[in-house]
Amino acid sequence: MRKVLLLYRCLWQILALTLVANLTHAQSFGGQRVFPFLNLPTHARVAALGGQVASATRPDGVYFQNNPALLDSMPNNQLGISFMPYLAAAKYYTVQYGLPIKSESSRWAVGLQYLSYGQFDLTDPQGNTLGTFTANDYALGLTHARTEGNFSLGATVKAVGSAIETYSAFGLMADFGAVFRHPKRELTVGLTAKNAGFLLRNFGPSREAELPFDLQAGVTFKPRYAPVRLTLTAYQLHRFDIVYNDPTLNVTYDLNGNAIPRRIGLANKLAHHLIVGAEFLFSRNVHVMVAYNHRQRQEGRLLTGSRTAGLSFGASVGARAFQLTYARFVYAPVAGGSSQLSLRIDLSRLL
């Protein structure tokens, strides 16, 4: 027990040092970034709740890629598979599997994120076809979570890569999470730091690039007699001002014709960090989810003009050893949004 707690203490110290390094070398939003696919939802239920989740009162075994501490209640031999058609011919897949390691207070799992951009024509400077090439992103991780009393700690170590024709990038990253569960009520508070790590190889000779680090906190609560679970998630907490203020659009002019940039109020800056979601429990096996993401609302409305940008919804149906979840969200940078479909299989019960 002491060795495990010491290990987690060392991991959190490494996280603190990595966070300082990220904040010290962080670039502006206009700088070069790598591995942005890590911000895509890892499960349809996560997508339906706004795209990011740091807490859950009764996880369905699919949240540990968002907060590794939420692996604490995932059964062994549980398999999750998700599919999402993304931009153009791009396809996004995720896989989660609870390893069959028997332990009363700890859990192990592996997770995979894979984004395929399809096949492209390879041409020379004159436009002559030389063949074809592919592009893809991937992240393969190992997660461990341990529970002591009402608290759970978790960590994920993952290898992340990206390849475009003969060019590639590779990095080592880690996620750290902590969860507190109320002993008597359905109340969970979560904290997670995602994608802390180092870039070992970049597409070019320079390794100066911004990793998709994210510091998140969340709370999920179910009123005792109400068939609904409410979730509030705050993300990008290591940056205060994440509002995209386009200088070519968000300007006014004074009487002399001088441009005056639009001022962003404090309430709007705070709202850009928040996602509000609700899960309606119509029965034990039928749930409906809805959520609102203010930042995606503002940016999606600017990109696509959609009035429903930032909104997401989904439904989950379970039967025996299976659970099927569908989500529709309109915060993707495409008109009409995207959908995600997830299947959970309890292999122990099935076999």
Q: Thinking of the domain 2-25+35-237+273-350, which architecture would CATH place it in?
A: Beta Barrel (2.40)
Stretch (H or E) spanning 46: helix 44-48
Beta strands in 38-166 (DSSP E): 78-85, 91-98, 106-123, 129-148, 151-164
Identify which has the larger pLDDT, 243 or 172: 172
How far apart are alpha carbons 118 and 133 in whole angstroms?
Answer: 9
Residue 31 clears pLDDT 70, i.e. is over it: no
pLDDT in tens, 268-298: 889 899 999 999 999 989 999 999 998 888 7
Classify the phi-psi angles of 342: left when phi > 0, otherwise alpha if psi is within -120 to 50, otherwise beta: beta
Q: In this structure, are strands 129-148 and 167-181 parallel, antiparallel, or unpaired?
A: unpaired
How far apart are alpha carbons 186 and 60 in whole angstroms?
Answer: 15
Q: What angle do CA 72, 76, 77 make, to 5 degrees?
A: 145
pLDDT in tens, 45-74: 999 999 999 999 876 668 999 999 999 888
Domain ranges in the chain are: 2-25+35-237+273-350, 240-271
Tokens representing 199?
């870039």
125-134, 145-154, 301-310, 340-349: the lowest-pLDDT one: 301-310
Residues 236 and 242: beta-carbon distance below 8 Å: yes
Residue 237 clears pLDDT 50, i.e. is over it: yes
Residues 152 and 72: beta-carbon distance below 8 Å: yes
Stretch (H or E) spanning 220: strand 214-221
pLDDT-derived band at 195, boundaries 50, 70, 90: very high
What percent of the chain lies above the pLDDT cut of 90?
52
pLDDT-derived band at 20, boundaries 50, 70, 90: very low
How far apart are alpha carbons 347 and 328 in whole angstroms?
Answer: 27
pTM for this model (two decimals): 0.85
Q: Beta-carbon neighbour count of residue 236 at 10 Å?
A: 16
Residue 85 clears pLDDT 60, i.e. is over it: yes
